[in-house]
Amino acid sequence: MDAATASSDVVLNVAQWVLEVALGLYVLDLITGLVHMHLDYQEIKSRELRLHVENNIPDVIKFEENDPLFYNATPNDQYLWNFHVHHDAPYPSKDSEWELTMQVVRPLAMPYLLSILLCYMGYMNASFARIWFGALTAGPLVRHHIHIFSFFPSMSVEMPAGSPALKFFAIKG
């Protein structure tokens, strides 16, 4: 193999890696956005719980720990109300990092397991598998849906104003 061919192979490998990472980030953003949208539009069956509003985290904690409306609700209604409350009582969340991660893992578990099966059976090519599994694995680690592909000077970011990420990147929330 001559130097020109080796150099060309390196350039192609780097280009493929950059393309896969960019596509992976796009798919990650798409997946977290779809999960967020799916959970936001799930209906809480209990009308009283669905219409109950708390506007700050201390009140959310008090309600979830002490109010029969919450602790007598079905586990799915509790899960959905706890997810929906981030619109009324935003950052910082009352949930731990683990609970926030599990809010995204729960809806992604079946697609992830199905994807593993399809990959094992040979129905995914290597590049697609790297992009797909990278996005599915990183998806639950994203705390809030971030629009990473906004090509405008003022990036569209759905994060609370006090977020450490916003301070780090100096993006206005």
pLDDT digits (tens, 9 = 90+) for 54-71: 888 888 888 888 888 988
List residues bridging with 157 in a β-sheet. Answer: 146
What is residue 149's predicted lDDT score, i.e. its pLDDT? 43
What is residue 6's predicted lDDT score, i.e. its pLDDT? 66
Residue ranges for the chain with pLDDT beneath 70: 1-6, 90-95, 97, 140-173
Q: What pTM was computed for the model? A: 0.61
Annotate 113-148 with b (16+ C-beta within 10 A) or e (fewer): eebeeebeeeebeeeeebbbbbbbeebbebbbbbee
Task: Give the C-alpha separation, 27 to 130, whole Å.
Answer: 11
Residue written as token pair 């399809």: 118
What is residue 74's predicted lDDT score, i.e. its pLDDT? 92
The 10s digit of each residue's pLDDT in 110-119 is: 888 898 899 8
Instruction: Quote the tokens at residue 65.
Output: 């720990």
